[in-house]
């Protein structure tokens, strides 16, 4: 494996983060903090606790997951789309760099940014409410797996998109609504039996539930199912990326 090439691409992508610090880090943190203040104040004044946990603390894992999903997709999709847009992707494809090394570089950089952002949001949330992390190992595992999985998803979107508008299409119209409806701000147990069953068809529910379990030991679905669903998404996205490079979909034309 060409570690020099991986390191070069990875460092280039990370350098772009520091050049656009306001957009990459500060803006998402402020946005998430506003979510926390508004939801915590408006709804928290009416819902004091959820399953014995203060509402302000309850929504922290959901807010982190909301930011993690959107930023993972955004970072990875723009990272690979921009070389396609400028035409430099052909120089990369003709260089002595394997497809695996390209994916590891771009997805690794996008996942790193998302994990860093998630940890910053976690530290910021600790300024508002007392937090506890009962299972720190599983919290980090869910954080890393989710970041890598949806960075792969963003990589796929960056290959598929043929305009900057399409880069925002899936995150804004699909991922963000599914996250809001995936138990980020409420427990699935609070819903009626019918809507509880409907909600379980939302894949984001399993990610949020598993992540919240790592904090408080409570979950809407079994944590093993959450971990299994995360691994399934990872396998599916890996398969799609492998197909893209095998067929040259939107890379060789």
Query: How high is the mean pLDDT in each 10-residue block of the chain (253 residues)?
Result: 88 83 77 75 70 86 91 92 86 85 94 93 85 93 96 95 86 85 88 89 94 94 94 95 89 69
Quick check: 182 and 207 in contact, CB under 8 A? yes
Distances (CA, A) of 152 to 57, 75, 87, 158, 242: 30, 10, 21, 10, 11
Concatenated DSSP letters of 95-152: SS--HHHHHHHHHHHHHHHHHHHHHHHHHHHTTTS----S-HHHHHHHHHHHHHHHHH
pLDDT of residue 152: 96
| Secondary structure class of 2 (helix, strand, coil) | coil
- Please name the residues in contact with 32: beta carbons below 8 A apart, sequence gap of 6 or more: 63, 64, 66, 67, 121, 124
Distances (CA, A) of 148 to 49, 105, 145, 199: 32, 12, 5, 24
pLDDT of residue 19: 76
221 backbone φψ class: left, alpha, beta (φ>0; ψ -120 to 50): beta
- Give the distance, in angstroms, between the CA of residue 44 and the centroid of all CA atoms in the same chain: 25
pLDDT of residue 87: 82
pLDDT of residue 45: 62
**Euclidean distance between CA atoms 171 and 47, whole angstroms:** 29
Task: Quote the tokens at residue 80.
Answer: 């690979």
50 phi and psi angles, rounded to 5 deg: -130, 110
- DSSP annotation of 172: I
pLDDT of residue 98: 87
Helical spans, DSSP H, in the chain: 3-19, 21, 27-42, 55-58, 60-86, 89-94, 99-125, 136-160, 164-170, 176-180, 193-199, 204-216, 223-247
pLDDT of residue 40: 65
Confidence (pTM): 0.91
163 phi and psi angles, rounded to 5 deg: -155, 160
pLDDT of residue 91: 83
- Count CB neighbours of 83 within 10 A: 18
Q: Which element (helix H / strand E) includes 221?
A: none
Task: Quote the tokens at residue 50.
Answer: 């959820």
């Amino acid at each position: 494996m060409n570690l020099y090439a991986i390191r070069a691409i990875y460092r280039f992508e990370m350098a772009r983060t520091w050049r656009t610090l306001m957009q990459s880090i500060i803006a998402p943190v402020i946005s998430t903090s506003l979510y926390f203040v508004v939801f915590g104040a408006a709804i928290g004044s009416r819902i004091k606790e959820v399953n014995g946990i203060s509402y302000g603390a309850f929504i922290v894992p959901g807010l982190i997951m909301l930011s993690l999903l959107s930023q993972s997709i955004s970072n990875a999709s723009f990272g690979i789309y921009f070389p396609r847009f400028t035409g430099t992707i052909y120089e990369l494809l003709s260089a002595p760099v394997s497809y695996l090394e390209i994916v590891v570089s771009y997805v690794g950089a996008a996942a790193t940014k998302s994990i860093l952002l998630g940890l910053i949001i976690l530290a910021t949330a600790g300024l508002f409410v007392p937090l506890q992390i009962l299972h720190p190992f599983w919290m980090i595992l869910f954080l890393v797996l989710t970041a890598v999985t949806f960075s792969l998803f963003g990589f796929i979107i960056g290959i598929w998109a043929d305009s900057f508008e399409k880069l925002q299409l899936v995150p804004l119209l699909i991922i963000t609504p599914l996250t809001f409806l995936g138990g980020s701000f409420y427990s699935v147990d609070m819903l009626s039996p019918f809507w509880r069953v409907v909600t379980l068809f939302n894949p984001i529910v399993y990610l949020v539930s598993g992540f919240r379990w790592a904090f408080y030991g409570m979950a809407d679905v079994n944590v093993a199912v959450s971990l299994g669903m995360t691994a399934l998404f990872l396998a599916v996205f890996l398969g799609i990326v492998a197909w893209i490079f095998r067929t040259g979909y939107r890379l060789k034309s």
